[in-house]
Amino acid sequence: RRLPGNVTCDTTAIRLSLVIPLYNESLRLSWLEEGLREFIDDQRACIHEVILVNDGSTDDTAGRLAAVRDRLLAARTDCLADVRIVDLPRNGGKGGALKAGVQAARGLWILTLDADMSTPPSELLRWQEYDPSLDVGASPDTPRVYVGAREHPDAVIRDSFFRHVIGRLFNVLVQWMTGLDSDDTQCGFKLYPAAVAKRVFGALAETGWAHDVEILRRLAAEGTAVVELPVTWRAVEGGSIRCWVDGPRMLMAVARMRFRDLKT
């Protein structure tokens, strides 16, 4: 099997784990299934597993998710090793769900992404074309983390002007409060060497929406290189995040991080 950049994929082990958190996503699971099926059917994809973390959903996400898993496994190709569901007993936040999924992952690389497929897993194949040094078909040779950047000049974004402005304002405030040199902390599409992901998520304190900021701060503190790459991203209606409620909560969480720093 050939990958972009003329590199080969070792089919003897799981190379990549896709970790996807879900909370009350029953009405949007068609997006999830479509995005995963596209990736699974692409023979350029490396041997991978899919980990679906049900974060204490109160709708019928659990039952519908099991049906999605069964259909994906029934239609699996040589690229797909397994699809697993991690059921959490109560809702603990996106960061907590990712933490559980990362702990369960068996791949040498771990890709976190959102259930609405705002950026689908096939974007990883475009990343490998964009940066030939990135090869998820091989063991990570350096502790480098790749993060999706919607503000990258080569990104393709489909979003409303209002949401874009709110997002930019949030990131400016985060940069000012934390000193992070990142124009997009909140894009859920991030690729980690497994050892790095398990270390930083294992120490995660903020389990809500602000977990991305804490992860990036931990990576910066330990000197792990972070490479921002462009994404194709589209806004999908029906998500659980609410700008006027969750935005201030995220900023309060970032303020807590700063306060903890001052105490130590």
Q: What is the pLDDT of residues 211-229, one digit of tens each?
A: 898 999 899 999 999 999 9
Gap between the Cα atoms of 29 and 42, Å rounded: 20
CB 36 within 8 A of CB 156: no
Q: Whole-prediction pTM value?
A: 0.84
Average pLDDT, the chain: 85
Strands 7-8 and 2-3: antiparallel
Q: What is the pLDDT at residue 12?
A: 52
Tokens of 218: 């931990």
Q: What is the pLDDT at residue 256?
A: 66
Q: What is the pLDDT of residues 59-69, one digit of tens each?
A: 999 999 999 99
**Which of residues 30 and 180 earns the better pLDDT score?**
30
3-state secondary structure of 209: coil
First-to-last CA distance in the chain?
A: 50
Residues 6+ apart with CB under 8 A from 25: 32, 57, 61, 65, 115, 116
Helix (H) or strand (E) holding 22: strand 16-22
